[in-house]
Amino acid sequence: MPQSAQEIVQLRRMQEYEPLLRGVRGTYLFDVEQVGCWFVAVDDGKIKITEGRHEADCAISCSEEDFIDIFEGRRNLVTAALQGRVQVRGDVALAQKFHGLVGTRIERSRGAA
């Protein structure tokens, strides 16, 4: 299990194509407080991640703890944003696509019988 934002980004860097982002074109900026920024360009499912702050279509900023929890599917991006833990700016449709992507491999059972 990744322990840091750096580790998550490294893992994601190895994945150059995400089928769930097919048809999606846009750029994201992930701003992790006191850790750093990553710029992610998505072009019809192809992903390119670079380090640094650049103008992006959708900017998502949060603490490192929340960043890890969201990527690992332990925290829901939408409710984190509604709570004010995460700031989502710009093209919210892109944020929604990102939300559809993270945590998809995790079976959740909270609230169930």
- Residues engaged in binding another protein (CB under 8 A): 20, 22-23, 73, 76, 78-79, 81-90, 92-93, 95-97, 100-101, 103-113
Nearer to another protein, 2 or 90 (CB): 90
Between β-strands 58-62 and 25-32, what pairing exists: parallel, antiparallel or unpaired?
A: parallel
Torsion of CA 99, 77, 13, 64, to 10 degrees: 180
Provide the minimum distance between the beta carbon of 78 and another protein in the complex, in angstroms, as a whole number: 4
Nearer to another protein, 55 or 107 (CB): 107
Nearer to another protein, 10 or 17 (CB): 17
Provide the minimum distance between the beta carbon of 51 and another protein in the complex, in angstroms, as a whole number: 25
Backbone φ, ψ for residue 15 (5° rounding): -95, 110
Residue 5 token pair:
């934002």
Provide the minimum distance between the beta carbon of 40 and another protein in the complex, in angstroms, as a whole number: 18
Provide the minimum distance between the beta carbon of 45 and another protein in the complex, in angstroms, as a whole number: 11
Cβ atoms 73, 63 nearer than 8 A: no
Residue 68 token pair:
């890890």
Residue 89 token pair:
């700016």
